[in-house]
Amino acid sequence: MQSPAKNGTRHVSPAIRGVLVLALLYVFLISIQMLGGTFKDLGKDQANALIGQISNPFAALAVGILATVLVQSSSVTTATIVSAVAGLMATQGAEKGGEVDLATFIAPFIPMVMGANIGTTITNTLVSMGHVTRSTEFKRAFAGATMHDFFNLMTVTIMLPIEMATGFLTKGAVWLVETLHLGGGVEFNSPVKTAVKAGYKQIKGTVEGLTGMEKTDTMFVTVMVIIAIALIFVCLIYITKNMKAIMAGRLEIAINRALEKSGLLGILIGIVVTVSVQSSSITTSILIPMFGAGLLTLENGFPICLGANVGTTVTALLAAVAAGPAGLAIAFVHLLFNITGILLVFPFPSVRRIPIRLAEGLAEKASRGKWWILLYVGGVFVVTPLLGILIFN
């Protein structure tokens, strides 16, 4: 016999879900602290070796794409990068007496953040496969999914060379950290920071006690990293699930109200919804059946996808609460990258149409020959990143 709730699931009040989200957020911050602290415990040689492995920007970009495809979440990837960077910089700072140039240090990690933006769009493409048996619906849905892909690919194509030549994102992020006086993270007797550190130390002590290993042992570091990444992944999944349940009906109402409004309102809707559910994939995946049914045109849905790109950066900023200036700078890089991408593309109608036209062209081919789907998904999200890692690393 089914419970009174729809779909046979037990009804949970929004208040309880809200408390659960706060608890999950606390564990999420602990896991970020754990990952950063574990990298901090690495020796100088191991830390330098890890940084050296991603020193090539194209290899770092490929790693960002593939890592995000594997975990199906740019939030997990960027949160992991934020915490790892914070720990690695602390390690180098200790070795060099605190003399570490922030801009120089974070620069190699920036292409990885860009790659995360590309990798996360595979979720939309997979969702559009649900329409594959209905040719007309599939063509619209696949175009709606891949226009987000093409926008992110186009943004990276423009921004990566600019960043390599000028350090625009690096300088902007460092300037924000220094100007906002956030160089010390949240070290100002923050109760959140204190609680997070206490939780981290408790887990660290428990693992040390159970394994009998020292914190600098390779196996101990491996165990801590695995636990931290698993917690990040699980916390974000359940934060997303509960926020989606809390916001459920409001999402489609908000999106539909934005359909006939300005593009800027569409961007704002994308930001607000994504911040609410902590997942750009949910925001953009909601659009796919609307594209497929013909309820939403690509032109009207495009700004919402752009807003989702900005909204998803909040997760990295949350992760930076448990990190230092390096982690915060990486979080700002993610924000600046997505905002700059919008400014470069959206204000200009002819440029704005490029990802839409490319998506429509690919969808037309895919509706006629399904092997185009395999070629596209495999090529962009798997083969090209693997080749990038093998060739440039």
109 domain residue, yes or no: yes
Highest-scoring range by mean pLDDT, 111-115, 191-195, 223-227, 324-328: 111-115
Residue 182 in domain: yes
Residue 101 included in any domain: yes
Question: Can you tell me the distance from the alpha carbon of 139 to that of 293, in angstroms, rounded to the nearest whole number?
Answer: 10
Which pLDDT belongs to residue 393? 62
In terms of Cα–Cα distance, which of 56, 30, 28, 45 is closest to 88?
45
Residue 169 contacts residue 316 (beta carbons within 8 Å): no
Does the residue 86 lie in any domain? yes
**Residue 13: pLDDT over 60:** yes
Which three-class secondary structure state does DSSP give residue 69?
helix
Full 3-state SS string of 319-381:
HHCCCCHHHHHHHHHHHHHHHHHHHHHCCCHHHHHHHHHHHHHHHHHHHHCCHHHHHHHHHHH
Comparing 296 with 163, the larger pLDDT belongs to 163
What is the per-residue pLDDT for 184?
A: 44
Q: d(Cα 5, Cα 16) in Å, to the nearest integer?
A: 16
User: What is the count of structural domains for the chain?
Assistant: 1
Domain that holds residue 165: 16-392
Q: Read off the pLDDT of each residue in 95-103 and give the average, rounded to a whole number.
A: 64
Q: Which residue has the tokens 């036209």?
A: 357
Identify the weakest region by mean pLDDT among 16-30, 241-255, 331-345, 368-382. 241-255
Count of Cβ atoms closer than 10 Å to residue 176 Cβ: 17
120 domain-assigned? yes
- Position of tokens 């390096």? 326
Residue appearing with tokens 């990952």: 35
pLDDT at 362: 93
Q: 44 falls in which pLDDT band (50, 70, 90)?
A: very low
Please tell me the predicted confidence (pLDDT) of residue 356. 94
Give tens-digit pLDDT for 78-90: 877 887 777 777 6
Percentage of residues of the chain with pLDDT beyond 70: 77
Whether the per-residue pLDDT at 95 is higher than 80: the answer is no
Whether 11 maps to a domain, the answer reads no
Least confident span in 33-37, 139-143, 252-256:
252-256
User: Please, what is the average pLDDT of the chain?
Assistant: 78
Task: Decide which of 263 and 113 is more confident.
Answer: 113
User: What integer pLDDT is reported at residue 31 of this predicted model?
Assistant: 78
Burial class (CB in 10 A: 0-12, 13-18, 19+), 385: buried
- CA quadruple 25, 29, 34, 36: dihedral sign: positive
Q: How many CA atoms lie within 13 A of 371 on its CB side?
A: 0
> What does the block give as tokens for 116?
């995360």
Tell me the whole-structure pTM to 2 decimals.
Answer: 0.72
| DSSP alpha helix (H) spans, 259-297 | 263-277, 280-292
For residue 52, is pLDDT > 90? no
- Would you give the DSSP letter of residue 393? -
The answer to the question of residue 326 being in a domain is: yes
Does 43 have pLDDT greater than 70? Answer: no
End-to-end CA distance of the chain: 57
pLDDT of 117 above 80: yes
Within-domain flag for 103: yes
Please compute the mean of the pLDDT values over residues 336-356 and round it to a whole number: 93
Share of the chain above pLDDT 90, in %: 20
Confidence of residue 359 (pLDDT cuts 50, 70, 90): very high
Q: Which residues of 353-370 are buried (b: 16+ CB within 10 A; e: fewer)?
A: eebbebbbebbeebbeee
168 — pLDDT class (breaks 50, 70, 90): very high
Cα-based distances in Å from 92 to 75, 106, 235, 326: 26, 12, 29, 12
pLDDT at 128: 83
- C-alpha 279/C-alpha 139 separation (Å) is 25
